[in-house]
Chain A
Amino acid sequence: MPNRSLAVLSACATIGIAVAAVMLMPAEAQQAATPQQPAAGQLGRSAGQHALDIGQFPPYKPARLPDGHPDLNGYWQSMVSADWDLQDHEAQPGPKPEINGVYGAGPAGQSIVEGGEIPYRPEALAKKKKNFETRAMVDVSNDKTWHALGDPEMKCYMPGVPRANYLPYPFRIVQSSGASSPYMLISYEFASATRIIRMNSKDEAPIPAWMGWSRGRWEGDTLIVDVSGFREETWFDRAGDYHSDQLHVVERYTPVSPFHLMYEATIEDPKVFTRPWKIRFPLYRHMEQDFQLLEFKCEPFTEEMLYGRFVKRPAS
């Protein structure tokens, strides 16, 4: 799923802390404590460790930049398989298993949507279904229907927000400090997509953009990014989940450990959904020695698919 292995250093570190905490407890206290945590206790584990198991982070005070805001700089990547489907999904073969076998297959995954389901307007569901059925098709012979078929990810188009954050590729958050740069950047490995986040800006999007128009602000230790001004052509996943040009996304990035950001996005689009809905998952810090983004300039991988029909072939 992730294109490079994530160092799951966090797991080692937190297990270490949990073990240390248990060892520091007097033996009697340990015995007294365990019966109150039956599920964890039967395995001889602490309540703290059980909390980690179900995705609860212990309290955390983040490192800060000179301006006092938490330092989010780093290479981050999700570990969810939401790019295949935001909602619950079983393992699935890729588009041409008779050629590719398991290459291109999708892993199973649990929904990252709060409440499990995306609240589509009844009439909007048909388009999702059609998107899915035509996700691996393209036709660029007519400018007016250029984007009518196919998952934009398959065509190496910019992925939009929030999809960029759960594509199986890393990205870097670039955060300055001080008055001379009222901007943050997020640079994604996939298709070299880049977002400029205008801090404390009230300016409206001048034109629609694939990656939207991002305005940021701090609320305590959480970076909130309000994203609007989207082109309507991006999708949320390979399952065909989509939006209109009315998409409005509010993202929340909260540091919950030195190695994790909790990411939440509230998604609103009155043309497609009956109410705002929310996704939530952690982002993991890449901890490999000297990690960096490498190019994933995927345009050349798609030119034959898009334009092959117009190429001059030797007469056969």
Chain B
Amino acid sequence: MTHRSVATLGIPAMVIAFGSLSLLMSQAPQTARKAAAEPQRKAATPPAATSAAPAAKPNSFRTPWGDPDLQGVWNDATSTPLQRPTGVASKDILSDAEAEEFQDQLATNLSRNRRDGGSEVDVNRAYNEHWMDARRLKVTADHRTSVIVDPPDGRIPPLVPISAERQKEHDERAAALARFNAGMPNTYLDFDLPIRCVVRTDMPPYMPIIYNNDFQIVQSPGYVIIAPEMIHSARIIPVDGRPHIGKDLHEWLGDSRGHWEGNTLVLETTNFRPDTNIFQEADPATFRLTERLTRVDARTINYEYTVEDPHTWIRPWTVRIPWTRIDPAEQMYEYACYEDNYDVSHFLGGAREREKRGEVAQPIPRLPSVQ
């Protein structure tokens, strides 16, 4: 909801975040468990409570030209974690009291008034609290313990062994991130894409983050346009059956085509850039993304995505996040990012200055984990 370049995601927010309850996209895939431990449940069955949301009636919410109507400004913020916390593998839904307690605990953990972690942690907490989207502190209305709905244990499936070449890329990215976190980046290429203002949360699939969780949807005959606030890109999705762009064309945000299945908009996205960390370090060559948007009621869209990559996970997995319509008075702002991205010259200039003084990189202190 901020209008100009706060490349804030990068700095303390990305480093400290929510501890292990974080929904940050950087959540490490290596936390996945062994395949043998997976409960034997039907893969596609969603947790029972998620069906409690009222089903969309056929033919309600239609555009004048007859397509399901998804238009509006929507927000996907939630504190429900991507993965179900370890230790509660069998618990997919929180009771009202548990949800309340979870939210209270989160608010306490993030509060700038704790004053128990040293001055740097205090400053980081205060900084994050300033930017925090208040919706980000609430669990989803259905009180799920993870936004992953499949596999049934709410965890990212186990990883498959990756090629030496990809391992090298991952290691290089990790080394660049370590230089950045230590305050000693060599080059702008050591920063990740959000900090460089190339893409932010506009790269599908969409995941909630500390702020700016708004999406505007506008439709016209044959098209659905999803415009995430951050960074001001509009995803123009033909729903007229045309083919994808040629295989030699690659895009940061991929190339999306949609079709309607009843009330649901189904999106297939391909042509991701081969040199990009597209999602959880999946292999862009084999990554498959399917998103499904269903208008549930006047104030809710169910956003669901399934990711699949035989080069990364042993099986596909699925996330569901409700999008809530926001008050029309609470509008979309222009998120100019690159235009005033002072951080890049500050980080790099600072690092060069520290080198001159012979300083040695020190890791930035992290917040204690919630769990």
* Chain A interface residues (CB < 8 Å from chain B): 65-67, 73, 140-141, 143, 146, 152, 156-158, 172, 174-178, 180-181, 183-185, 187, 191-194, 196, 206-207, 209-211, 231, 233, 290, 292-295, 297, 299-300, 303, 306-307, 310-312
Of all chain A residues, the one with the shortest Cβ separation from B69 is A180
Is the Cβ of A299 less than 8 Å from the Cβ of B338? yes
For A185, what are the chain B residues with a Cβ–Cβ distance below 8 Å? Answer: 216, 218, 225, 227, 234
Is the Cβ of A158 less than 8 Å from the Cβ of B188? no
* Chain B interface residues (CB < 8 Å from chain A): 3, 61, 63-65, 69, 71-72, 186-189, 196-199, 216, 218-221, 223, 225, 227, 231-234, 236, 238, 242-243, 245, 249, 251-253, 331-334, 336, 338-340, 342, 344-345, 348-349, 351-352, 355
Is the Cβ of A295 less than 8 Å from the Cβ of B345? no
Is the Cβ of B220 less than 8 Å from the Cβ of A187? no
Across the interface, A293 reaches (CB within 8 A) one of B221, B236, B242, namely: B236
Is the Cβ of B221 less than 8 Å from the Cβ of A73? yes
For B199, what are the chain A residues with a Cβ–Cβ distance below 8 Å? Answer: 297
For A290, what are the chain B residues with a Cβ–Cβ distance below 8 Å? Answer: 242-243
Is the Cβ of B349 less than 8 Å from the Cβ of A310? yes
Of all chain A residues, the one with the shortest Cβ separation from B228 is A194
| Contact residues of A: prevailing secondary structure | loop
A302 to chain B, nearest CB (A): 8
A194 and B196 in contact, given A184-B218, A185-B218 (Cβ under 8 angstroms)? no
Across the interface, A180 reaches (CB within 8 A) one of B71, B189, B196, namely: B71
B204 to chain A, nearest CB (A): 14
B69 to chain A, nearest CB (A): 5
In the A-B complex, the 4 residue pairs with the closest CB atoms: A310-B348, A66-B64, A187-B234, A192-B233
- In angstroms, Cα B219 to Cα A73, docked, is 10
- In angstroms, Cα B265 to Cα A194, docked, is 23
- In angstroms, Cα B235 to Cα A172, docked, is 11
A311 and B71 in contact, given A187-B234, A300-B196 (Cβ under 8 angstroms)? no
Of all chain A residues, the one with the shortest Cβ separation from B338 is A299
Is the Cβ of A67 less than 8 Å from the Cβ of B64? yes
Is the Cβ of A295 less than 8 Å from the Cβ of B251? yes
For B196, what are the chain A residues with a Cβ–Cβ distance below 8 Å? Answer: 299-300, 303
For A312, what are the chain B residues with a Cβ–Cβ distance below 8 Å? Answer: 186-187, 351-352, 355
